[in-house]
Amino acid sequence: MNQDNFRTITPYVPGIQPGFADMIKLNTNENPYPPSPKVIEASEKFNAADLRLYPSVDVGPLRDALAAYHGFDRGCVFVGVGSDDVLATIFQACFNSGRALLFPEITYSFYEVWARLYNIKAEKIPLRSDFTIDADAYIGVENGGIVIANPNAPTSIAMSGSDIERIIVNNPDNVVVIDEAYVDFGGESVLEFVRKYDNLIVVRTFSKSRSLAGARIGYCVACPELISVIEAVRNSINSYTNNRPSIEMGVASVGDEKYFRDTIAKVIKTRERLTGELKELGFNVLPSSANFLFAEPPAMLSAAEVYEGLAEKHIYVRHFKIKGIDNFLRITVGTDEQIDTMLSEVRKMLKK
Ligand code: PMP
């Protein structure tokens, strides 16, 4: 076979998915709690005979539910198969100027993968030495668009809404994408700014705060003109994206605000306890506004050693072999019980 026919690309590598029944999985920022009982009910009520029919072209019922939930017209909402799908579609639709797309040097590594895949020039902007994002570095720089995760991943640190607003206001000719995958756990959302700024796209996911990673639902909110551009690209690839059961489960999730708020509060409470206990053990823990921590072990142990030691016990956290962050671990906030098991293994390693 002639290899010239093939596209070679280094893909994004997600956290490993080992199949052990006894494992504690704290490596992909999933929610440790199940989705709302209303979601479970919707999945049980789903009539599999309906699968002979295609789902609605524009994810209709879920798009309407999200528009009503946030108080926007349906023309301001686009729904995709997880926020990865939404972001990939935005990359194809909105960054075609030939100028460089700006994003932080340390951030969700899929941004760089999509830039390469779609031949978008990219410029990575260094973080400050404390791992925060410097808003001024995105102002007065020629660019063809900006993507920022807020809170950022894997650092877990949030940026203020006013800093993001400065970036939006000072880049009126380019699209600014704010990826709010983790915002429900404590970040300041800029969703309301969509009413004021037509260059802003806010991306959200059901995978984290709504415990629906397996249903693959993401969406974005922006002015109708931008949503039409994004929809045109999606409808040039695949008209039917989200499947029927996940649309119904998504609608049920949006309808259970109390469960949503209660689950978030539980995760935040455990996060704060975990932060305190890791600090007591000598870890340097960055201030988290997400459902995960980014933490550096005390000097006697490297992050790689802690990662290996935990993996031997079937406890999985994430370790990135990337310069500048290779002595950090990204630890998803699990249940209190999971966190206690992990902490007791860490204590054994530290002989404490
Ligand atoms: N953005 C960020 C910052 C993420 O960490 C993730 C999760 N890997 C995503 C987007 C994509 O999540 P999903 O496709 O499950 O919505």
pLDDT tens-digit series, residues 198-241: 999 999 999 999 999 999 999 999 999 999 999 999 999 999 99
> Could you tell me the pLDDT band of residue 18, with boundaries at 50, 70 and 90?
confident
Q: Which among 271, 310, 301, 309 has a CA at the least distance from the CA of 287?
A: 271
Q: In this predicted structure, what is the pLDDT of residue 220?
A: 98
- Between 18 and 200, name the one with better pLDDT: 200
24-34+258-351 and 37-255, same CATH topology? no
| pTM (two decimals) | 0.97
| Percent of the chain's residues with pLDDT above 90 | 92
The share of the chain scoring above pLDDT 70, in percent, equals: 100
pLDDT in tens, 79-136: 999 999 999 999 999 999 999 999 999 999 999 999 999 999 999 999 999 999 999 9
The confidence band for 19, taking pLDDT boundaries of 50, 70 and 90, is: confident
Q: How far is the CA of 340 from the centre of ligand 1 (A)?
A: 26
Distance between CA atoms of residues 333 and 291, nearest Å: 6
Ligand 1 atom nearest to CA at 107 = 3
Least Cα distance to 253 among 268, 263, 240 occurs for: 263
Which of 125, 76, 119 lies closest to 97, judged by CA? 119
Beta carbons within 8 Å of 350's beta carbon, 6+ residues apart: 281, 282, 298, 300, 301
Q: Is the CB of 263 under 6 A from ligand 1?
A: no
Q: Is 248 in the pocket of ligand 1 (CB under 6 A)?
A: no
pLDDT given at position 197: 98
Instruction: For the domain made up of 37-255, give the CATH fold.
Output: Aspartate Aminotransferase; domain 2 (3.40.640)
Q: Is the C-beta atom of 111 inside 6 A of ligand 1?
A: no
The pLDDT-based confidence of 13 (bands split at 50, 70, 90) is: confident
CATH 3.40.50.2300 holds for 24-34+258-351 = no
Question: Is the C-beta atom of 107 inside 6 A of ligand 1?
Answer: no
Listed by start position, the domains of the chain span: 24-34+258-351, 37-255
